[in-house]
A and B are shown apart, each in its own frame.
Chain A
Amino acid sequence: MSDDVRPTIARPMIARPTIAHPMIALQGITKTYPGQTRHAVAQLDFDVPDGNIVMLIGPSGCGKTTTLKMMNRLIEPTSGRILLDGEDVTGVDGDQLRRRIGYVIQQVGLFPHFTIADNIAVVPRILGWDRKRIDTRVDELLHLVGLEPRDFRDRHPRQLSGGQQQRVGVARGLAADPAVMLMDEPFGAIDPITRDRLQDEFLEIQRQIAKTICFVTHDLTEAVKLGDRIAVFGPGGVLQQYDTPEQILTHPANDFVAEFVGSGAAVRRLSLLELSRLELEQISVDGVDSPNGHPTYRADAAGRAVAWSHLPGVSEMPPLVTVPLSGTVYDAVDVMLDMRTPLVAVVDHEDRPQGALRWDALVRELPTKGRRP
């Protein structure tokens, strides 16, 4: 299991150095439900690093929701220890523990007889915040999740759409500013278009608030899109692999993970891998320096690529086609097929080439940065 962590949402190009501080740590956790011989979760050691989004994924009945619910002790473990920010919380008062941890579920579960503002204010009220602080916080959170406080504060949950309700659900989870958020398939019951938008907004929010988030999903696309790390659970609540999304996709630890990732994994990976995370083929501007074997290109005054000037082993230059660095490998393949060229230049937001990607490289193993060998 590698220790490095993909830099989250800010997506700098270099992986952040190893961090040793887990916000949540499960140590030797086992859960056996009464009357059952099989473990729901078996001997689980699991660290959630501070500020990360960790996705728990696996087939039905693999213990991912059980694991999540043991983190705030909605389900009490049969044995083992739970540490929250270094503090052993295995034996503390469960209700008080849960007030320190945000909780968002698929069915949202807003209180229908409360206004939106009152729903968000539940935990702050219990914690005894004064009125003014609560009002300010409610407005702040409604803004954060993209709902205009003036329009939504005094409405009731049943007057809101499913997507709006889940925004309120997220705001409610964040209300008392917990360090940790537990989310159980929060976007699972929402239509695909709204879900996609909510996921984007969720990443945007996480960039601002940098919480430690544990997120149960059954959707691999969602796991790869949102997760800094993915934990794949197998039957009997056994953790099969816990790693970065690209490691899960490129190097499944065993047959179970390989099968779970699925036969479409190779193509799926293309649309999930951003070009910025690839080790691109080095290219250089014509005339500056031409190390043997590197493609070179002619550039205009602004440094934008205009045409290929030299490609090793090729006499007739193909047209120079570019794809943005922010795109995915899938985009690059699309452009190659569309333009019938085996080579694209990858450019940054100012159209300056950062490297090249070849058709040939795609069928070999795609080298990515920021992970251990």
Chain B
Amino acid sequence: MNKRMALVIDLNKCVGCHACATNCKAWNTGGDYGPLTDVEPYGKNPDGVWFNRVQTYEVGKYPNTEILYLPKSCMHCKDAPCVKVCPTSATYKRESDGIVLVNYEECIGCKYCSWACPYGCREFDDYDGVMKKCTLCVDRIYNENLPEEERQPACVLACPTRARTFGNINDPESEAAVKIKERNGYKLMPEVSTSPSNHYLPKQKVKIQIDEDEILTRKHVIVETEKKVSSYAEVTSDDIAVP
């Protein structure tokens, strides 16, 4: 079976720090699929191409609300609508690993692929006149000049909470596939039959069982420690023997 490389993003761990987005931008703007052009980056209305954006939603009604951070980049769909509509075959899906890429040399910049994408994960580069999108850092993951542990997408390496896992989801033994299975990983817009490769692990309400005895024991320990500390505090310089 061919590989199907994908990102598995744990929404329970994501803290919305945008490190994945900024590291993605930093790597890719100088990588094989760059530059990610910026327009007025320090101006009043900054604009530019990003492969990855983190959106923030508030879920629930006050006071029972919670924040959901949704990092979103190309889903590398199995049945990618952007590939089907491209009039020049500039957008293509690699059979070997399922990554959807754009050949900038062939792209005419008609934007049709972006209309066909329900996730809004393609961005037009006004400067180059071509459509750009996440490449799953294809110039990193097979790059033999990098140490093996660094052959991962830039967003995965940057995540401080390790919310992102990268791997072949067609391999049931891979960490990514195991996480999807164990944590009920889901796809965005499952009903539109694009079959996205990227999966999200749902937010969970963490509940732990604490017995009353356990609380008492802990309390006891704290009390003991406090006593010790207080006894140390009572020691004065007069009590210290000077040799």
Pairing of A with B: no
Binding site for B on A (CB under 8 A): none
Chain B contact residues, CB within 8 Å of chain A: none
